Amino acid sequence: MADDKSPRSAPPAGGPLVQAPGAATRRRAQRRVVALTGASSFVGQNLLGLLEEDEHIERVVVVDVKPPPGAGKKTRFYEVDLTQPTAEARLSELFAAEGASCLVHLAFYNSPSHASAYAHELESVGTMHLLVAARQARVQKLVMSSLTLLYGAHPSNPNFLGEHQPLRATRREPFFRDKIEAEAEAARFGERSDGAVVTVLRTAPIVGPTVKSFLTRYLSRRVVPTMMGFDPLLQFVHEVDAIAAFKLAVDRDVPGTFNIVGDGVLPLSTVIKLAGRVALPIPHPIAQPLGSLGWLAQLLPAPPTFVPYLRFLCVADGVRARDIMGFRPAYTTREALVDFVSAQRLRDVKLLEEA
């Protein structure tokens, strides 16, 4: 455990984790209005808290289908369903009326869903509606979340994938396809609205004591299926770091795509051992049918299209986020995992209630 890092703070505090890089910073003097979608998601919920505390932010406009948990005084909630065709007009009116200068788009599933049709409507079509509205209302800044998983796990990947690499995750999987389409929408938004700052943060799988996702469910099982003879290197980012990265992207105008990852990598076998689980190696030729069955029976947290991630590398390079954005993760991959595991162990023996 490296103790020479900057002081670690409790989850909703991104402040001390970041240092000003200087050049890329253009802080706006006046108090801003930030629009936020996906405020009920893990990152959204925590980011909302951070935005509430920030004195440079006048108001947080939350667009969602249900009121965000833990909304404070600055938050103004509007019930808009992004999947509806009427959402566009409503959103553009709303953004203009509120004078939103920054849009944070986090309305994405962090785990594959069985309701893939709705997920498509929300992630792909919903992003289109949202960004068309934002362009009409002349929103000058977009921060969107994405995943490093979208690079896809291939044996031909370099060990560290840069942001310029194509998104090669399989399009057969709606979870990836919708997000790739959403990224394309964000790129289109950047092209068509001149001068707008578009920041896309591709986060590595987020782990930590409170976050829930398909990955934490996978690592919570006593027996964890793996692919026989394959031991890919994995990379995680701690939940605190991920939240801090989004706050940083809201605070600074840094156009571009950034990989938000923790330092270091761990082989899957070590991850499973640190988590105190037992690996169940499955020969990869039968993983596909078994995985389909398990997914259909809802026994597995992810469909068989995730099998390549248990075989091949999908590790992103965070150097660009460090150099340009000034993002310094406080937790390494290993520390993030250990933090997750310590909470998970308590959950295992029912000492920690689900929040």
Partner 1 sequence: MDDPKPKPKAARKPSAAPPKPKAPKAPRKPRPKRPAASAEADTRSEALLEELEHRLDAIIGDHKLEPAVAPPPTPPPPTPPPPPDSTTVFDTARDMLTSDFYLRRWGRLAMRSRSEEVDDFGYDPTYDKRIKPFFDFLYERYFRVECRGISNVPRHGRCMLVANHSGTIPFDGPMLKTAVKREQPSVGRDVRWLAEDFVFHFPFLGSFESRIGAVRACQENAERLLRQEALVAVFPEGTKGIGKLFRDRYKLQRFGRGGFIRLALRTQTPIVPVAIVGAEETNPMLFRVESFSKLLGVPYVPVTPTFPLLGPLGLMPAPTKWKIVFGEPLDLGDYGPESENDEMLVSRLAETVRQSIQGLLDAAVRERKSVLFG
Binding site residues, partner 1, CB under 8 A: 155-156, 158-160, 162, 227-231, 233, 264-267, 269-270, 273-274, 276, 278, 283-284, 312, 334
Quick one: 96 or 274, whose CB is closer to partner 1?
274
Give the single-character DSSP code of 151.
G
Cα–Cα nearest to 14, from 238, 202, 243: 243
Query: What does the DSSP assignment read for 49-101?
Result: HHHHH-TTEEEEEEEESSPPTT--TTEEEEE--TTSTTHHHHHHHHHHHHT--
* Distance in Å, CB of 91 to partner 1, minimum: 41
16, 41 contact by CB (below 8 A)? no
Quick one: 77 or 230, whose CB is closer to partner 1?
230
Quick one: 135 or 284, whose CB is closer to partner 1?
284
Give the single-character DSSP code of 211.
-
* Distance in Å, CB of 270 to partner 1, minimum: 6
Q: Which residue has the tokens 């026994």?
A: 299
* Distance in Å, CB of 245 to partner 1, minimum: 21
d(CA 224, CA 98) in angstroms, rounded, equals: 48
* Distance in Å, CB of 78 to partner 1, minimum: 45
DSSP-based three-state secondary structure for 314 = coil
Quick one: 264 or 294, whose CB is closer to partner 1?
264
Q: Which residues contact 213 (CB under 8 A, 6 or more apart)?
A: 42, 110, 111, 205, 206
* Distance in Å, CB of 158 to partner 1, minimum: 4
Quick one: 274 or 352, whose CB is closer to partner 1?
274
* Distance in Å, CB of 177 to partner 1, minimum: 25
Q: Which residues contact 344 (CB under 8 A, 6 or more apart)?
A: 216, 219, 220, 275
Q: Burial level of 166, CB count in 10 A (0-12/13-18/19+)?
A: exposed
Quick one: 30 or 156, whose CB is closer to partner 1?
156
Residue 199 neighbours by CB distance under 10 Å: 26
End-to-end Cα separation, the chain, in angstroms: 27
74, 51 contact by CB (below 8 A)? yes
* Distance in Å, CB of 303 to partner 1, minimum: 22
The pair of structure tokens assigned to 273 is: 């051992």
Quick one: 223 or 293, whose CB is closer to partner 1?
223
* Distance in Å, CB of 211 to partner 1, minimum: 22
* Distance in Å, CB of 328 to partner 1, minimum: 18
Quick one: 39 or 266, whose CB is closer to partner 1?
266
- Residue 77's DSSP bridge partners are 62
Degrees (nearest 5) of the Cα angle 116, 314, 148?
A: 55
Quick one: 101 or 235, whose CB is closer to partner 1?
235
* Distance in Å, CB of 285 to partner 1, minimum: 10
Phi, psi of 274 (to 5 degrees): -65, -35
Quick one: 255 or 264, whose CB is closer to partner 1?
264
